[in-house]
Amino acid sequence: MSDDKEKKLQEIREKLKVLLVESLSLEGVDPKKIKDDEVLFNEGLGLDSLDAVEIVVLLQRNFGLNIKDINEGMKILYSLETLSKYIQENADNG
């Protein structure tokens, strides 16, 4: 089971990398070269607050998930890893 979970998580990571690069128009960034635990804001991918808007919308449209408040958002959007796990947990709960 844990192998299945890990496999699903990896699929989510890969899908997210592609979605992020496309939606946020990250030019010159190869999705395959993004680390699994890449930090999203300030360092790492260097996204800004408006990119957060696009990620929130991306979550709604592609995964049917809503981020309700800022504190929750800060934790979820910290890195690709935290985002992926959030999607997986909520997809599992759903």
Partner 1 sequence: MTKNKEIVICDSILGTDDCWCVIPVYNNCVTVQKVAQDCRKYLRNVVVVDDGSTDIDVRSLFHDEDITVLRHDKNLGKGKAILTALKYVKSNNGRYIITIDADGQHYPGDIKKIIPLLSTEGDSVVVGVRRFEESQAPARSRFGNEVANFWMKIETGLSVKDCQSGFRAYPVDYISKIAFSGSRYEFETEILTRSAWAGLDIKMVSVGVKYVGSKERVSHFDLRWDNLRIGLMHARLVGRRLMPFPHKRLTPIKEKIDYAEFLKHPIKGLKKMLKENATPSGLAAAAAMGIFLGVLPILSFHMPVILYFAVRLHLNKAMALGIQNICMPPLIPIACIELGHYMLYGTWITEASLRVVFWQLKDRVFEWLIGSLILAPVAATIAAVVVYFTARRIKRREADNTCQGSKEGTVKEFPARAGSLWKSTLHLSVNRVPGVRMSKKIKTKKRGNSLGIWFFIAFLKVFGLRGAYSLLNLVCFYYALFDKEAISAASEYVRRRFSGCSTFQMRRHIYRLFISQGRQLIDRYASVSGKIKYEVNSDVYDLVENAVGKHEKGAILLTGHVGNWQTSMSLLENLDKKLYIVMRPEDNPALVDFLKISHGSKINIISPEQEMGGAIEIVNALSQGGLVFMMGDRKYDFNTTEAVFLGDKAKFPQGAFRIAAAAGCPIIVWFSNKTSERMYNVRVKGVLNPCYRKGKEKGTQIKEWAQEFASLLEAYTKEHPYQCFLFHNVWGE
Q: Which residues bind partner 1 (CB under 8 A)?
A: 25, 48-50, 52-54, 56-57, 60, 66-70, 73-74, 77
Which residues are bridge partners to 51 per DSSP?
Answer: none
* CA–CA gap between residue 48 and residue 26 (Å, rounded): 12
One-letter identity of residue 81: E
**Cβ proximity to partner 1, 11 vs 72, nearer residue:** 72
| Shortest separation between residue 34's beta carbon and partner 1, angstroms | 19
**Cβ proximity to partner 1, 57 vs 91, nearer residue:** 57
| Shortest separation between residue 73's beta carbon and partner 1, angstroms | 5
**Hey, is 26 helix, strand or coil?**
coil
**Cβ proximity to partner 1, 7 vs 75, nearer residue:** 75
* CA–CA gap between residue 64 and residue 87 (Å, rounded): 10
Tokens encoding 71: 């504190």
